[in-house]
Amino acid sequence: MASQRRTTIHDVAALAGVSRSAVSKAMNGQEGLAPGTRKKILAAAATLDWSPSPAASTLRGSRSRSVGLVISRGPDLLAADAFFAVLIAGAESVLAPRRYGLQLHLLSTAQSAESETYRQLTRDRRVDGFILTESRIRDARFELLRELGAPFVLIGEPWQDDRVEHILVSDAMAGMRDLAQHLVQAGHRRILYVGGPEDLVHTLRRREAFARALEDAGGPLPRVVSAAFDAKDARRATREALAVPERPTVIVYGNDTMAIAGAGEAQRLGFRVPEDVAVVGYDNLPMGEWVYPTITTVAQDLHAIGAAAAAALLRELGDTSVEIPPVAPSTLVIRESTTLDRA
């Protein structure tokens, strides 16, 4: 494995038959390359056992080349909510070409197990740093990781008192403004917001943003209920909302999973979506386009957020050749669940 001369980006470019900047793009997971070209470059880099940062190569021996993602919503969460799957896909798009792995730990919600996991992974040097998600009100993880000396980045906004350096987030307000206007223009006067669990910061932020945007758009005050971020609870909330005479003309859910399950339940009860009740989600997960009617949603740039989080962490780890891709503000994606007119 010893070689006379260190492999450089020139060698990879030459083997792949492309420019150096193309190699750089491919390794940084940037857009603007044909898929075939990207593949050729990654294959060439793999053949030559080359990765972009000389610093990273030198350090490789003492590094795990692994990034930790500890999710404390129980092992079935990944299957039930594609939110994390998209984030992970985004992170992998930066990590994989640099031969970093993502070390996944799905825990039950016991807090002690969580902090013990962070401690062990750090102590045993099994990961080089962490990507945190879903910040909580007065989140104990930040202090713990500082104590452990473990680099980390946060996806999402921290609570007001928590100070965190690297934060990756799609601003909710932009998409919520467009949504409020969309709903007010369509004449909706009875609006229900079904939000997520109350201890998550983004649940509160999203709800506040929606209420403020509605007010600014001259819309009505929304009625608000809370639900677990799952399909079962969304169905329950939907049944209850549609059982009263003054039922909402539109239901806005805190995520797409709930919106899909809610739209399904409304249809099962004999309501047409959107003619009898319109439905809106949040996140823009792939499955919102599979169902009928397709789901209008506030899109977060989740893939870019995952990629940016991985890139920010790699930079934090000393790999300054990684560029952090930009994260777009949230946008409204209008689909059939607010616009379809079968009449």
Catalog residues that contact a second copy under the rule CB under 8 A: 35, 38-39, 42-43, 46-47, 49, 60, 64-66, 68, 75-80, 82, 85-86, 88-90, 92-93, 96, 99, 101-110, 112-113, 116-117, 120-121, 124, 126, 231, 257, 260-261, 263-265, 267-268, 285-287, 289-292, 294, 303
Q: Which is nearer to a second copy, 121 or 211 (CB)?
A: 121
Question: Which single residue is written with the structure tokens 């006379």?
Answer: 4
Nearest CB to a second copy, comparing residues 194 and 201: 194
d(CA 186, CA 180): 10
Say how many CA atoms lie within 13 Å of 217 toward its Cβ.
Answer: 27
Decide whether 178 or 265 has the Cβ nearer to a second copy.
Answer: 265
Contact 297, 283 (CB under 8 A): yes
Please return the burial class of 174, using the count of CB atoms within 10 Å of its CB with bins 0-12, 13-18 and 19+.
Answer: middle
Neighbouring C-beta atoms of residue 268, cutoff 10 Å: 11
DSSP string, 155-184: ESPPPTT---S-EE---HHHHHHHHHHHHH
Closest contact distance (angstroms) between CB of 321 and a second copy is 19
Min dist. Cβ of residue 68 to a second copy (A)? 8
Q: How far apart are CA 235 and CA 227, in angstroms?
A: 10
Residue closer to a second copy (CB basis): 39 or 189: 39
CA separation for the pair 264, 258 (Å, rounded): 10
Token pair belonging to 201:
């910061």
Report which of 256, 314, 309, 290 is spatially closest to residue 88, judged by C-alpha positions: 309
Sign of CA pseudo-dihedral 68, 73, 79, 85: negative
Q: How far is the CB of 37 from a second copy (least distance, A)?
A: 12
Q: Smaller CB distance to a second copy: residue 6 or 268?
A: 268
Least distance to a second copy, CB of residue 161, Å: 27
Distance in Å, CB of 146 to a second copy, minimum: 21
Minimum CB distance to a second copy, residue 291 (Å): 5
Nearer to a second copy, 90 or 195 (CB): 90
Q: Which is nearer to a second copy, 180 or 322 (CB)?
A: 322
In the complex, minimum distance from the CB of residue 276 to a second copy, in angstroms, rounded to a whole number: 13
